[in-house]
Amino acid sequence: MKSRTVIEVMPEGALEVLSQHEVDRLRSTGEGGYHELLRRCALAVLNSGAETDDTREVLERYRDFEISIVQQDRGVKLALTDAPETAFVDGQMIRGIRELLFAVLRDVIYINNEFTVSGQFDLNSTYGITNAVFHVLRNAGALRPGADLNVVVCWGGHSIGREEYEYTKETGYQLGLRKLNVCTGCGAGAMKGPMKGATIGHAKQRIRNGRYIGLTEPGIIAAESPNPIVNELVIMPDMEKRLEGFIRLAHSIIIFPGGAGTAEEILFLLGILLHPDNADIPLPMILTGPESSRPYLERIDAFIGATLGAEAQKRYSMIIGDPAAAAAWAQTRMQHVRDYRRSQSDAYYFNWRLTIDPVFQRPFVATHEAMAALEIRRDLPPAVLAANLRRAFSGIVSGNIREEGIRAIEEHGPFEIRGDRSVLAELDGLLRAFVAQHRMRLPGRAYVPCYRVVI
């Protein structure tokens, strides 16, 4: 019988002491316990830097991995059995990975204590959900009162070509030179590139406390393991709270080429910005990429114009082939954000005044019934259509990389998306372009669509 390797790890940066009740729930595999959640999220962190976007592949490869809590008088330790070897150097866990591992422990405990056990937040009201997002970010130390506006959220795909990746890295470098910090979805591709580039820009400016914030959620963390640059990891309870966390933290948003997940993010943001109450609230948004990405960027722009209209197109700018100009644009537009928040006595560290309709906050669970029931109609208000299109893309992401989504597709076949022929034709054309450009999965993997657009 193969011997198993067990390594004990001391805390790094968070949660050195746990209550006995918390330890019991972390150990429990039954109802009310959250051992499996901890195990999956911890495995994703330990697998940092892996070139895969297949949740099942990760879980199968490390099916013998186990994590347990060692309670002692002086605090707690984590005992790891058969952990990925890449997390260690000469038998010692890499310090950055150890920090992220205990960030996982922190967020898993907080989310389950405050959301599940205590019921502290009213998750049926828009105010209650925003309050919950605020508290998760605050508990993680992501909110910095007294800091200036300097957080640029960068969105884009994990499955991008080398030229697009280098462009994201150069843009991040230009952001770092301008003393700006970077927040991404924490995975590979366009999530890693800006952070990697920013580290060089920060080094040249002798900035030793640069922030590389990664926001993720339990459903996708195994498929998008945190990249090695992340130094502030936050696990939000679900995708909708993750997306709200991005826009509440952001002082400017840069969007690089991507696939279904990036389209979901774009539609989420545009749907919110199209709310009448947000008409005068500045939240700079730019689409950018290398010259080779022009067809992709122009196709996204055309899709937005054809479905949501010209008003939606007015909410963003586009710069192609010039990373320095994109970074300078983001920095310049932050002055408008600063002036507005100062005039409204709003916080720099959390965008309280932005109105988010409940349709964007309620978690969407991608089932065959839910996907088929989405209303995708030309006569809907643009913000509502944006919300439903966002859910359609969310379902596609689920079918592509989330374990439960993959399992549903295997059991019942592709999700069906129905609606107005004219809107669906635009959606189908965009999705076909994503497939042709290999934006649905990492290169080298044949893509079988998890959806069918019923026109």
Domains annotated for the chain, with CATH where assigned, are: 6-120 (3.30.1850.10), 136-343 (3.40.50.450), 358-453 (no CATH)
Q: Which pLDDT value is given to residue 32?
A: 64
Predicted confidence (pLDDT) per residue in 361-405, tens digit:
999 999 999 999 999 999 999 999 999 999 999 999 999 988 889
Radius of gyration of the chain (CA): 21
Predicted confidence (pLDDT) per residue in 262-285, tens digit:
999 999 999 999 999 999 999 999
Please name which of 239, 274, 270 lies closest in space to residue 253, comparing C-alpha atoms: 270
- How far CA 341 is from CA of 30, 132, 253, 326, 352, in Å, comes to 47, 22, 17, 23, 10
How many Å apart are CA 29 and CA 9, to the nearest integer? 22
What is the pLDDT averaged over residues 48-72? 77
- Identity of the residue numbered 134: F
Do 234 and 107 touch, CB atoms closer than 8 A? Answer: yes
Do 270 and 356 touch, CB atoms closer than 8 A? Answer: no
Helix axes 260-273, 294-307, angle to 10 degrees: 40
Residue 74's pLDDT band, with cuts at 50, 70 and 90, is low
Residue 15's pLDDT band, with cuts at 50, 70 and 90, is low
Q: What percent of the chain has pLDDT over 90?
A: 68
What is the pLDDT averaged over residues 124-145? 94
Q: Which pLDDT value is given to residue 1?
A: 43
Predicted confidence (pLDDT) per residue in 397-437, tens digit:
999 988 889 999 999 999 999 999 999 999 999 999 999 88
How many Å apart are CA 355 and CA 346, to the nearest integer? 14
How many Å apart are CA 405 and CA 413, to the nearest integer? 11
Q: Which pLDDT value is given to residue 12?
A: 63
- Please say if the pLDDT value at position 49 is more than 80: no
Q: Which pLDDT value is given to residue 14?
A: 57
Predicted confidence (pLDDT) per residue in 317-351, tens digit:
999 999 999 999 999 999 999 999 999 999 999 99
Least confident among 215-224, 238-247, 296-305: 215-224
What is the pLDDT averaged over residues 91-117? 87
Q: Which pLDDT value is given to residue 69?
A: 84
Phi, psi torsion values for 7, nearest 5 degrees:
-125, 130
- Please say if the pLDDT value at position 151 is more than 50: yes
Strand-pair category, 451-453 with 151-155? unpaired
- Please say if the pLDDT value at position 165 is more than 80: yes
